[in-house]
């Protein structure tokens, strides 16, 4: 099972999300913990200046940006719409 750590920025952004997005994020995180490459998450490596980071979908609009710390450990960096990539 994947171990997840959170940055203060992630926690701050998460607290400001609408309740329905928070609930969906928890649901998606549970799937991610079991298998980060489940097709429904659309997990992908980012490109350009973000190339060391990864992302997966919470829903059509929201994403969680993260980095692998080890094979079974990740750090969630940010959550939000596509603006998190800027």
From the list 80, 83, 78, 81, the residue with the least C-alpha distance to 66 is: 78
pLDDT tens-digit series, residues 2-20: 999 999 999 999 999 999 9
Say yes or no to pLDDT of 40 above 90.
Answer: yes
Confidence band of 82 (pLDDT split at 50, 70, 90): confident
Q: What DSSP string runs through 47-62?
A: -GGGTT-EEEESSSS-
Q: Whose CA is closest to 4, among 32, 24, 40?
A: 32
The answer to whether position 86 is within a domain reads no
Tell me the average pLDDT across 21-44: 98
The domain tally of the chain equals: 1
pLDDT of residue 53: 97
pLDDT of 84 strictly over 90: no
Query: What is the reported pTM?
Result: 0.94
* CATH number, domain with residue 11: 3.30.2310.20
Residues of the domain holding 12: 3-81
């Amino acid at each position: 099972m994947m171990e997840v750590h959170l940055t203060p920025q992630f926690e701050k952004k998460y607290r400001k999300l609408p309740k329905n997005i928070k609930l969906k994020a928890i649901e998606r995180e549970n799937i991610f913990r079991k298998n980060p490459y489940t097709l429904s998450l659309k997990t992908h490596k980012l490109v350009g200046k973000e190339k060391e980071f990864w992302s997966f979908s919470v829903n059509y609009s929201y994403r969680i940006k993260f980095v692998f710390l080890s094979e079974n450990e990740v750090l969630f960096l940010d959550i939000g719409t596509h603006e998190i990539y800027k």
